[in-house]
A and B are shown apart, each in its own frame.
Chain A
Amino acid sequence: NAGVMQNPRHLVRRRGQEARLRCSPMKGHSHVYWYRQLPEEGLKFMVYLQKENIIDESGMPKERFSAEFPKEGPSILRIQQVVRGDSAAYFCASSPPDINGELFFGEGSRLTVL
């Protein structure tokens, strides 16, 4: 499967724990985006990364959230000290450099905070 791979697909955490979501972009894609979809809401841009660089993190909450895309390995979205309001579907998307507006999304990671 050459699509965008996300894991875990489902993650349950208790308040105060950490959540780590991983994303491997499509083969040949060097640009990774994270979007969040809260219940009953639309997708919201969080962050845009290229290898070893955060290009645009204007959609990231100021605290507890961080993202990286290392030289080797998947992109990781990390949420520290999770709260119930973090419960959402987190979608990763990738694109080639010459994007024409089409993002290829992974199936998402659904985080539930108890």
Chain B
Amino acid sequence: RKEVEQDPGPFNVPEGATVAFNCTYSNSASQSFFWYRQDCRKEPKLLMSVYSSGNEDGRFTAQLNRASQYISLLIRDSKLSDSATYLCVVPTNAGGTSYGKLTFGQGTILTVHP
């Protein structure tokens, strides 16, 4: 099993749609998780952190299922500006984030069209 594995995508959805991405991780000791967003040919930027069962920020909801070792990202009311690659990220040093050694998933490409 890969350390971090994501839906391959790509996802093509109309504006206003709800879309969900899943991510599985292999290290059961991982305590924190992150979703980063990367626009085409740009740097990754932190979108959300997930430390407990979930986190919500506006149209974005991240959920964590420790038993099944997966994290999901839900985007409601999709906007054109949501088009990007979404990266599931898990700290490589299990148990904490004592430093920034992160394992990135390959990413899921989302395209929102008019």
Contact = CB atoms under 8 A, between A and B. Distances in A.
Contacts of B106: 41-42
A69 interface: no
Given A100-B49, A101-B34, A55 B103 contact: no
A100 B99 contact: no
A55 B46 contact: no
Nearest to B50: A101
Interface string A74-114: 00000000000000010101010001111101111000000
A42 B90 CA distance: 13
A42 B87 contact: yes
Contact of A91 (B4, B32, B43): B43
Contact of A103 (B92, B102, B107): B102
B59 interface: no
B97 A45 contact: no
Interface in B66-100: 87, 89, 91-92, 97-100
B76 to A, nearest CB: 23
Q: For the side of the interface on A, what is the size category?
A: 20 to 34
B44 interface: yes
A8 to B, nearest CB: 15
Interface of B: 4, 32, 34, 41-46, 49, 87, 89, 91-92, 97-107
Given A48-B99, A48-B101, A99-B100, 14 more contacts: A31-B100, A33-B101, A42-B105, A42-B107, A43-B87, A45-B92, A56-B99, A95-B100, A101-B32, A101-B89, A101-B97, A101-B102, A102-B34, A108-B42
